[in-house]
Amino acid sequence: MVGTPGLVLPFVVVTILWFVSTGLVAIINHRLRQSFGRALVIACVCAFTGLGLIIVTAHSTAVWASYVSFLGGLLIWSWHEISFLTGAVTGSHRTPCPDGAKGWQRFSLATMALIHHEVALAMTAGLLLSLAAVTANPTGAYAFALLLIFRLSSKLNIYRGVPNLSDEMLPAHLSYLKSYFGPRKLRPILALSIATITGLALWLGFEAKSAVSPHETVQAGLLCCLSLLAALEHIFLAVPFRDSALWGWALGTNDRKEFGEGV
């Protein structure tokens, strides 16, 4: 069992990586469309680098390997984020939701607007978890799988409707997706999502404190902090706070105007 001070470094590392990686993805994507080819090249470099880091650390239970594997998972996730925000991998339906669409029709259209991206994420998670099943260090795979779960939760809540939504990170060429956002009101599913993710974070925190090896402590600590940040992002959907303001340095005034801030 470890004390609370032993969990400080994993929390600091995850918070910094979360803040910086989100900002870098915003910088890469919020440019003129002519530069999107370069953005996709950068995304592919991230993917191969991330996969390489996970493979290299797959059989190591050293503390440093946990951090490196976690970084690998984030880099692979960044590949998917960039490919989505550039519009390279979204879905088969790329037009606004028709007026009056509701129920199954609205849900199916919203699903088709994202289906290629969702399938790519699921396939990648399946591959990484399959590799994790035969390795000693599954940190990166677990991080990617959690990010997928948290992203699906966010999307479902936004589809149903949330009180507060910052959409500045969404480029203008994907503005049609806003037509699938639900009404701005608080629904029970959002409160349930926050409670569930917070509960997961608490369980991971307990696992980190009761772990018998430094590797298990760091792994659980990294995943715990990732879960806490996901809970925070869900809370941002419920309270009047523009979380995109945290990455104003990455978006820039000119980029926000060009990509249609507030559209």
Q: What pLDDT, on a 0 to 100 scale, did the predictor assign at position 139?
A: 97
Domains in the chain: boundaries: 4-162+174-238
CA angle, 83 then 87 then 88, to 5°: 55
Asked whether 132 and 55 are in contact (CB, 8 A), the reply is: no
pLDDT range class, residue 31, cuts 50, 70, 90: low
Query: CB within 8 A of 170, min separation 6: which ones?
Result: 85, 177, 178
> Using one digit for the tens of pLDDT, what is the confidence trace for 169-184?
788 888 999 999 999 8
Q: What pLDDT, on a 0 to 100 scale, did the predictor assign at position 251?
A: 64
Round to whole Å and give the CA distance between 174 and 166. 14
Q: What pLDDT, on a 0 to 100 scale, did the predictor assign at position 259?
A: 37
Q: What pLDDT, on a 0 to 100 scale, did the predictor assign at position 164?
A: 87
**Cβ count near 21 (within 10 Å):** 17
> Using one digit for the tens of pLDDT, what is the confidence trace for 40-77?
888 899 999 999 999 999 999 999 999 999 999 999 99
Q: What pLDDT, on a 0 to 100 scale, did the predictor assign at position 256?
A: 43
